[in-house]
A and B are shown apart, each in its own frame.
Chain A
Amino acid sequence: MEQKYELRLYVAGKTQKSVTALSNLKKYCEEHMKGEYHIEVIDLLVHPQLAEGDQILAIPTLVKKVPEPVRKIIGDLSNQEKVLVGLDIRPR
């Protein structure tokens, strides 16, 4: 089924930051876009070749593929406001 939000979270192994980011992301999604999102977690330690495609530098990076425009949010997503702005849920 088509989701309104397609999100990819790039991590590198189960580091503290990755775990924090994922749990933060899930929390925000549940709060603001319940049922409208799909999260794909990509572990670059397993699939290093995928890093180039989305121009990943920093870990963890959240990439919002859909809806356009593509946005990247880097960090452990601890700042909820910034994440929501980045996901275009809140106006800038």
Chain B
Amino acid sequence: MSKKIAHLKKSADQTELQKTPTGIPGLDEVTLGGLPTGRPTLICGGPGCGKTLFALEFIVRGAEQYNEPGVFIAFEEKPDELSANVTSLGFDLEQLQKQKKLKIDYVHVDKTEIEETGEYDLEGLFIRLGYAIDSIGAKRVVLDTIENLFSGLTNEGILRAELRRLFSWLKEKGVTAIITGETGEKTLTRQGLEEYVSDCVILLDHRIINQISTRRLRVIKYRGTMHGTNEYPFLIDEEGISVLPVTSLKLNKQVSTGIVSSGIKPLDSMLGKGGFYKGSSVLVSGTAGTGKTSFAASFIDKACERKERSLYFAFEESPNQIIRNMRSIGIDLQKHIDKGLLEFYASRPTLYGLEMHLVSIHKAIRKFKPQVVVLDPITNLITVGSVSDVKSMLVRLIDFLQSEQITVMFTALSLNTIVSDQTDEGVSSLVDAWLLIKDIELNGERNRGLYVIKSRGMQHSNQIREFIITDNGLDLVDVYLGPEGVLVGSAREAQKLLEQTGQALHTHAISRKDRELTRKRRLLEARIESLKTEFESTEEELNKVYIEEDIKRGIAQETRQFMTEFREGKKEAIKGNKSNK
């Protein structure tokens, strides 16, 4: 008893509901595991929406991938028609039938052959189904389209009762069943099959908006489990159905701190950490002819040189055109293609709807497993959807790329300010880094200025750089910031020249002044010299007068003395005086 309780508890903990994977890419993610095991699922939709293919793929993938044999009861198409229809998808029904992995039973109901009288039941169908299931040990069953019974048999009362019995019988058998049904006017199916199949209902839709058709899928109900409730686009191509897997329900992606170079050195330094984060999304926007594609190509080129696999989605130009054009700026993409590092996916945006683009992008990415992806340009996608559609598509794409740690670069064209605001608003909040290339018009020429508008998680530069496309690739140069404002292009060169001239003139002027000064000094010095000489001569003059006077005075005194002594008659005195002297 306690064992039993423990067992029950355990199973309750593990899963509320067992699920059978369909093997259809994306659908198992939407339904979080697949269709309910051992229960019928209703697939409904209008004509041509892919119900039969959906059901058949469920059976084939079950047989091929999960080793679950399946029975396909066809009410509409004969087995050989079915096989022929899906051969193009690579499904070999004949082979599967030989391997006893598949059994196709064609149920033909023709009103003209059948006469009804009295009570009957559909035991014959049950027996056939039961026999088919047992003969190959089927785990999966498809009834396509059981509503055809209603056109062949008239007694609706019996039919409804029998259908109810059929579905409970299928449950008892424990097979996972798909029942297809055509959408009715007000109900999901013409005959209200949803009334009997209540565990899981999936609606397929084929809608045309702006002349572009998109297939969509919605899980209307799924009892006892969580499921994605949105409309998910799906694609039917050469590999069958793929449902778009979508925004995952949570925002808990792994992030990387690795850095991916932008391919332009000066830009890397502008970004603060030496490039973009690995797995981040980068938007490069700008007006026409600002070099967005060149930018993207240079990014891809550098990535390939680092031996990283890259995918280039071109929505505007053909690959050959891009390769040719990029050669002119010294970027050779062809060699990367030859090495298998680079692949181009070019498609016209109008080829199919947005969602289809997304699905095809998904598929390409899953197949090529790139580390770097470029979408050039996303603006063109707006021609096939509204801004909000594009945004929601990009959200999903970025989400997916982030989870795969793929760095993505979008380019966006802004036609004029109004539209650019719109586009940028739509996308800019999603991306991690946003580079804007702007035309700066000055002096009758246009030049490109590059701004790093945002770069999450980095201290990026607030400077405007001039973005230059040269023969050897791309480069950034500092713009001239002067009293006249921001100068770029030839104006910057002119200003530089002007400055150089100014400098030269300045130097010249300074040296002239210096010389002048020296000269003046010399002049002054000369004058000082002459004044000195003058002073000396004046002094000498003055001295001369003094000395003369002294001499005169001396001589006068002598004379006087002599005279005195002479008068006294002292001849010796004169003599003595003379000898004294």
Tell me whether B122 and A59 are in contact (CB under 8 A).
yes
Residues of B contacting A85 in the complex (Cβ-Cβ under 8 angstroms): 115
Q: Which of A58, A69, A76, A83 contacts B122 (CB 8 A)?
A: A58
Best-surrounded residue of A15, A21, A58, A77 (most CB of chain B within 10 A): A58
Tell me whether B125 and A57 are in contact (CB under 8 A).
yes
Tell me whether A82 and B127 are in contact (CB under 8 A).
no
Tell me whether B115 and A86 are in contact (CB under 8 A).
yes
Residues of A contacting B116 in the complex (Cβ-Cβ under 8 angstroms): 73-75, 82
| Residues 11-50 of A at the B interface (beta carbon under 8 Å) | 12, 15, 17, 20-21, 44-45, 48-49
Residues of B contacting A44 in the complex (Cβ-Cβ under 8 angstroms): 123-124, 127
The 7 closest A-B pairs by CB, nearest first: A78-B118, A86-B115, A48-B131, A75-B118, A59-B123, A76-B118, A56-B124
**A91 → chain B closest CB, angstroms:** 14
Q: Is B209's CB within 8 Å of the partner chain A?
A: no
Q: Show 28 A/B contacts (Cβ-Cβ < 8 Å), sorted by A.
A: A10-B124, A12-B127, A17-B120, A45-B127, A49-B131, A51-B124, A55-B108, A57-B124, A58-B123, A58-B125, A58-B153, A59-B120, A59-B127, A69-B113, A70-B113, A71-B113, A71-B115, A72-B113, A74-B114, A74-B115, A74-B120, A75-B117, A79-B118, A82-B115, A82-B116, A82-B117, A83-B117, A85-B115
Tell me whether B124 and A77 are in contact (CB under 8 A).
no
B151-164 CB mask vs A (1 if < 8 Å, else 0) is 00100000000000
**A8 → chain B closest CB, angstroms:** 12
Please judge, given known A-B contacts A57-B122, A58-B122, whether A51 and B131 are in contact too, CB under 8 Å. Answer: yes
Residues of A contacting B108 in the complex (Cβ-Cβ under 8 angstroms): 55
Q: Is B82's CB within 8 Å of the partner chain A?
A: no
Q: Which of B107, B115, B128 contacts A72 (CB 8 A)?
A: B115
Tell me whether A74 and B125 are in contact (CB under 8 A).
no
Instruction: Give bound CA distance, A30 to B201, whole Å.
Output: 52
Q: Is B109's CB within 8 Å of the partner chain A?
A: yes
Residues of B contacting A76 in the complex (Cβ-Cβ under 8 angstroms): 117-120
Tell me whether A51 and B128 are in contact (CB under 8 A).
yes
Instruction: Give bound CA distance, A56 to B130, whole Å.
Output: 13
Best-surrounded residue of B105, B109, B114, B115 (most CB of chain A within 10 A): B115
Q: Is B121's CB within 8 Å of the partner chain A?
A: yes
Q: Is B236's CB within 8 Å of the partner chain A?
A: no
Nearest residue in A to B153 (C-beta to C-beta)?
A58
**B432 → chain A closest CB, angstroms:** 61
Residues of A contacting B114 in the complex (Cβ-Cβ under 8 angstroms): 71-74
Please judge, given known A-B contacts A48-B130, A57-B149, whether A86 and B117 are in contact too, CB under 8 Å. Answer: yes
Instruction: Give bound CA distance, A56 to B115, whole Å.
Output: 13
Residues of A contacting B153 in the complex (Cβ-Cβ under 8 angstroms): 57-58, 74
Q: Which of B113, B124, B131 contacts A58 (CB 8 A)?
A: B124
**A56 → chain B closest CB, angstroms:** 4
Residues of B contacting A12 in the complex (Cβ-Cβ under 8 angstroms): 123-124, 127
Q: Is A52's CB within 8 Å of the partner chain B?
A: yes
Residues of B contacting A48 in the complex (Cβ-Cβ under 8 angstroms): 127-128, 130-131
Residues of B contacting A75 in the complex (Cβ-Cβ under 8 angstroms): 116-120
Instruction: Give bound CA distance, A77 to B117, whole Å.
Output: 5
Please judge, given known A-B contacts A72-B115, A86-B115, whether A58 and B128 are in contact too, CB under 8 Å. Answer: no
Residues of A contacting B131 in the complex (Cβ-Cβ under 8 angstroms): 48-49, 51
Residues of A contacting B123 in the complex (Cβ-Cβ under 8 angstroms): 12, 15, 44, 58-59
**A21 → chain B closest CB, angstroms:** 8
20 other A-B residue contacts (CB within 8 Å) besides A55-B107, A58-B125:
A49-B131, A52-B105, A57-B107, A57-B124, A58-B121, A58-B122, A59-B120, A59-B122, A59-B123, A73-B114, A74-B114, A76-B117, A77-B117, A78-B118, A79-B117, A82-B116, A82-B117, A83-B117, A85-B115, A86-B117
